[in-house]
A and B are shown apart, each in its own frame.
Chain A
Amino acid sequence: MEKLIAGDIYYLMYLGRAFEYKAKEHYMTGDISGFLHLDIGQEALSVAAMKAFEKGDVFTTYREHIMAIARGMEPKYVMAELFGKASGVSGGKGGSMHLFDPSHFFYGGDAIVGGQIPNAVGCAYARKYQGNLEGVMVVFGDGATNGGAFFESLNIAATHKLPILFLCENNEYAIGTNIKRAAPFKEQYKKAEPYMLTKAIDGMKADEVYSAVKEAQSLIEKGHGPIFIEAYTCRFEGHSMSDANLYRSSQEMKHCKARDPLPYFKEKMLNSFNFSQEEVEALEKKANECVDEAVDFAANAKEPPLEALYEHVFYEELNNVVS
């Protein structure tokens, strides 16, 4: 990893966490409503995977604010979406769980567990058909690996040797159900092993995530076909704001927080990438300012007009196309 990329990753991880804490704060005040799934604790995976997979297409889940920002969406437009404003990335119609930006080849933001996986497989088919092997990355949690959509997708991706990276974020919990109570083993890559190359990594270490995803994309680009990476992570918060996180003991949370990806990578920044303390602090300051600006922007942005209710139900009005 180059110094420049390391700096970028640290900045985005720090920004991501600050963004999530602000979102939490504004959920408490009522500016943000609905379901809000915070990514605090999993910033290394969300940022480093996006930075490593810089080409291609991305499909992901409802816990995607940081991924969307790392993919290139401006934090102010993401925050505005959380606030339900017209200038939000989805015009205030999607909310926290549905961030879309085709200009960054980022297609949500899917809130049906596992539902985005077949879409990513279809997109990978399209890309291969078009002669483009940059690859599609689909991110999903360990909970999704117990569903039919996941198994169908492994089968089809392997049958057609599609350019796709399955990235499983295994934080051990499907809302409040531990993976050990929902699957016969903790390591979900075992489910993909008969179909494709698999790799298990520590998802709390940005450098490890970055190099694994980078290597996978490079293999996919050379025509290797599908690859499965399982990243072990730990979310610091409940599943969503409505989850009090009562199913995890204080001891478990202590272990979890000892794996905090931010201090880990800060140490790398200082000792492996030769950043000075001042340089790191400057990045942190810049990130905090960016998040403050995002909140200001979102708070002052306009609500969508009532007419927006009826817009984009259909793309074409009847009669627009002559067959």
Chain B
Amino acid sequence: MLYREALNRALDELMVKDENIVILGEDVGLYGGSYRVSEGLVEKYGEKRVIDTPIAELSIVGNAVGMAIGGLRPVAEIMTANFSLLAFDQIINHMSKFHYMSNGKIKLPMVVRFPQGVSRQLAAQHSESYEQMLSAVPGLRVVATSDVNHAYHALKKAILLDDPVVFIEHELLYNKKGEVDFNDTQDPFKARVVKEGKDITIVSYLKILDDVTASVAAIEKELNCSCEVIDLCSLNPIDYETLAKSIKKTSRLVMVEEDHKTGGFGSQIVSWAAEELFYSLDAPPLRIAGEDVPIPYNRKLELASIPTVDSITKKVIEWGHKNGL
């Protein structure tokens, strides 16, 4: 199954059971969704439940908030993360605050799906990531999904929860292949250890996690060590428990993210580790992140702006050598 098919299946399985679930977004219906996530759903559930909206992101999220107040369970799609900036008033001032401001009287069971990240030469206005801003908003659950199995389970949970969830997908993952384990009982909103190890904890999420995984063999060989790789899965709240358990075991932390380094999400993980686990660490944490530049169009420049398998491998090995590995 493909990542996009897993998301589609999660939507389909829940929509057939609960007619309160509706999808709204640009081209989600007749067109089938820009990344084909909602393909076939309008034929099955009709235009009242799979709603093609105007190009008006503020209203896509703002209407979803109102639908949730009115008793529906909307799943809104933002075509690409950059466009969500037009909806940030609704996401931050409305979606994340009504439950708290109303002292729990208002519930917003809603999901906003966010394809994001550096894809292939889409340039600066179609390539950004916003988890650093979104995860800093109290009251907003932020989930980032990196593989087929997790995508299926996490989207189902996001839809079933009575909390507002921003559900981050990566544009390069839609055609990623994998299997769904229908018996998976792990909480999809908790961090997952995707590879066990004992010397270095490498924390990542979304698409760049694949590059981390691909770089591990070379790192382990060169440093003669073993790496534990953790997929964060939930960026708010953060599953510090799973991270602490791993870092206490390995005594070393590497944080890898695709987004710009300054103010990036990984800075929260590293600052937390510095505050809470300083005496458990045998080396200064290493942060590998994108360059502090708008994403350029040219492929060579684009690749130079984000971590790659080669750059991750090289940086971790250099850091390892410097720090006694």
Contacts and interface: CB of A to CB of B under 8 A. Distances in A.
Interface of A: 57, 59, 90-94, 98, 100-102, 107-110, 112, 115, 117-127, 129-130, 148-149, 152-153, 155-156, 159, 311-316, 318-319, 321-323
Contacts of B156: 323
A122 B58 CA distance: 12
Interface centre among B66, B68, B71, by most A CB within 10 Å? B66
Interface string B154-186: 001100111100000000000000000000010
Contacts of A101: 105
Interface centre among B70, B100, B189, by most A CB within 10 Å? B70
Contacts, number: 159
B141 interface: yes
A98 B94 CA distance: 11
Contacts of A124: 66, 70
Interface in B79-97: 89-90, 93-94
A contact face: mostly helix, strand, loop, or mixed:
mixed
Contacts of B141: 314
9 A-B pairs with the lowest CB-CB distances in the bound complex, closest first: A122-B66, A118-B62, A126-B70, A91-B103, A122-B63, A100-B102, A119-B66, A323-B157, A323-B156
B25 to A, nearest CB: 13
Contact of A100 (B51, B65, B101): B101
Given A126-B67, A314-B139, A318-B190, A118 B101 contact: no
Given A98-B102, A149-B59, 6 more contacts: A119-B65, A119-B94, A122-B68, A148-B58, A152-B59, A313-B139
A319 B186 CA distance: 10
A117 B66 CA distance: 9
A313 to B, nearest CB: 5
Contacts of B324: none
A318 B187 CA distance: 8
Contact of B56 (A120, A125, A156): A156
Contacts of B68: 122
A155 B62 contact: no
Interface in B119-167: 138-139, 141, 153, 156-157, 160-163
Contact of B69 (A94, A119, A148, A318): A119
Interface string B37-59: 00000000000100101101011
B107 interface: yes
Nearest to B68: A122
Contacts of B187: 318-319
Given A112-B93, A119-B94, A155 B139 contact: no
B66 A121 contact: yes
A288 B135 CA distance: 48
A102 B102 CA distance: 9
B22 interface: yes
Contacts of A126: 66-67, 69-72
B101 A90 contact: yes
B68 to A, nearest CB: 8
B188 interface: yes
B101 A93 contact: yes
Given A129-B48, A318-B189, A122 B153 contact: no
B198 interface: no
B237 interface: yes
A115 B93 contact: yes
B64 interface: yes
A93 B151 CA distance: 35
B107 A125 contact: no
A232 B179 CA distance: 62
B188 A115 contact: no
Contact of B70 (A127, A148, A153, A155): A127
Contacts of B98: 100, 107-108
B84 to A, nearest CB: 14
Contacts of B100: 93, 312-313
B16 interface: no
